[in-house]
Structures are given as structure tokens and as C-alpha cells.
Amino acid sequence: MTVLDHDERRTAAQLHDAPAEIATEIARLERLAHTLDARFRIPFTSFHIGADGLLGLIPGVGDTLAALPSAYMITRGAQLGARKRTLVRMGGNAGIDWIIGAIPLVGDIFDIGFKGNLRNAALLREDLLRQHGGASRAVA
């Protein structure tokens, strides 16, 4: 079990301590991250891929298109009051995902393992829950 899987299981318990609007938005952004990074299981493996990885297969523009929802998540984080440090870390994850993801073949393999959007959702959840009195612990 990965750190991200463990965090996904803890989300429901943590969210009950946060204000309703924050909890609802965190849950929505986590669903978006799951769709982007882990929606589909690759047959005969334990690996998951999402829309980000599938879009990354389109030469030239795929990774840039996949970066748009990542930028949206960072923007929503800022609107919800995430700390600058968290937003910078989220930007770093999105940047790494975009830069390495743009490398043919290597980037496609990288997308299977890195899961930048799930990392960003976990960072945002931890930051906002910490600010609003929910349970917290450090994540990637």
C-alpha cells in the first residue's frame, strides 16, 4: 500500500472536522486527481493510469492539455486559502509532471508512477485540514 492509498482511506474521517465547504471542495478535487492519475487499471498489472497519462500519449500537445487541470487544482488551492509553501510544492509537482511527461516514452512510463495530481490533492488536503483544525500529517 502506498502513502497515497493510505491517505485516500483517511480522507473521509479527516474531512468531518473541516468546514463543510472546504471538505466538499477537497473531496471534489481528490476525485478530479483520481480521474487524472489513477482512474483505470492497466490489465494484468497493479498499475493505474488516468486521463493525464492517456492525454500524454498525444504527441506535442497531450502533456500541455493534461497540465490544465493541474493548474486548476493549484488555482483552487489558492482560492481556498492554501499556504504559499503548499502552492509552490504543488506547482513543483505539476511542473515535474509536465516536463518529464513531455519526453517521449520516458514520460509515459513516468506518468504511471509519479501521480502528481494525487500528490497535489494530498498536499492541499493536509494544508487546509491543518488550518481548519482537522487531523493532519506530512505527505509528499
- Please give the residue that has the higher pLDDT: either 12 or 67: 67
Percent of the chain with pLDDT strictly greater than 90: 54
Q: Tell whether 102 is covered by a domain.
A: yes
Q: How far apart are CA 44 and CA 131, in angstroms?
A: 41
If one counts the domains in the chain, the total is: 1
Q: Could you tell me if 30 and 36 are in contact, meaning their C-beta atoms sit under 8 angstroms apart? A: no
Q: Tell whether 35 is covered by a domain.
A: yes
Q: Tell whether 140 is covered by a domain.
A: no
Least confident of 60-64, 115-119, 125-129: 60-64
Q: How far apart are CA 21 and CA 79, in angstroms?
A: 12
Q: How far is CA 73 from CA 56, 90, 96, in A?
A: 18, 9, 15
Tell me, what's the pLDDT at 50? 92
Q: How far apart are CA 107 and CA 91, in angstroms?
A: 18
Question: Which cell numbers hold the place of 10?
Answer: 483517511
Domain around 32: 3-39+48-131
pLDDT digits (tens, 9 = 90+) for 29-79: 999 999 999 999 999 999 999 998 888 888 878 888 989 999 999 999 999
Q: How far apart are CA 130 and CA 123, in angstroms?
A: 11
112: confidence class by pLDDT, cuts 50, 70, 90: confident
Tell me the CB-side half-sphere exposure of residue 15, using CA atoms within 13 A: 20
- Is the pLDDT at 6 greater than 60? The verdict is no
First vs last Cα of the chain: how many Å apart? 15
18: confidence class by pLDDT, cuts 50, 70, 90: low
Tell me, what's the pLDDT at 93? 96
Q: How far apart are CA 70 and CA 97, in angstroms?
A: 10
Q: Tell whether 123 is covered by a domain.
A: yes
Least confident of 13-22, 36-45, 75-84: 13-22
Q: Tell whether 137 is covered by a domain.
A: no
- Is the pLDDT at 101 greater than 70? The verdict is yes
Q: Tell whether 122 is covered by a domain.
A: yes
- Is the pLDDT at 140 greater than 90? The verdict is no
